[in-house]
Amino acid sequence: MTSPDGPALVLAVCTGNICRSPAVERLLAARLAGTDVVVASAGTRGVVGAPVSAPMVPLVEAAGASADGFVARRLTAGVARDADLVLALTRSHRAAVVETVPALVRRTFTLLELARLLEHVDPDELRAAGDTVGARVRALPRLVTAVRHLAGRGEDDVVDPYGGSAALYRESFGQLAPAVESVAAALRA
């Protein structure tokens, strides 16, 4: 975990770190701009040094974020260790994060799971968890875990568009973008 005095760190994780996790990183960073939160991403088999996959770029940009300057990296213990919240794009990515840094087990969720859980968190309780967005990020794992029994199970995996058609990229983006919006809205409320 980061220091309570410094910015909170949210880490998005997918496979290659060129499609889904960079989209989550850039969208969430844009939505939380000006707060005490840093958003980063990595891939379980990161295509180190690569930019965002070309078909994902216009989707990210149309949503008001930028893919400029992005460089893919691989998930390592050093990259993940200080994350206050990890947003995995599938259950297998979540398992890889926890295998890499077991201490992250209670701070790692799939993005879709977290969005589903947030529907059951009292917004007043989240606001009361801290005066800053970073403090709320740090409190979020505890708050959503407490409502897990209310949320039930649902689809937790965002489809991997890599190598697919433009329609597949749109489908993937269409799954992750609303979840990012709901996480950002909850944190900023």
Positions marked catalytic? 14, 20, 122
Contacts of 178 (CB under 8 A, 6+ apart): 115
Please report the DSSP string for 69-96 in residue order: T----B--HHHHTT-SEEEESSHHHHHH
| CB distance 31 to 104 below 8 Å | no
Q: Match 């008001």 to its residue by tokens.
A: 64
Cβ neighbors of 20 (< 8 A, separation 6 or more) are 12, 14, 89, 158, 160, 161, 172, 176
The answer to whether the CB of 111 falls within 8 A of the CB of 90 is no
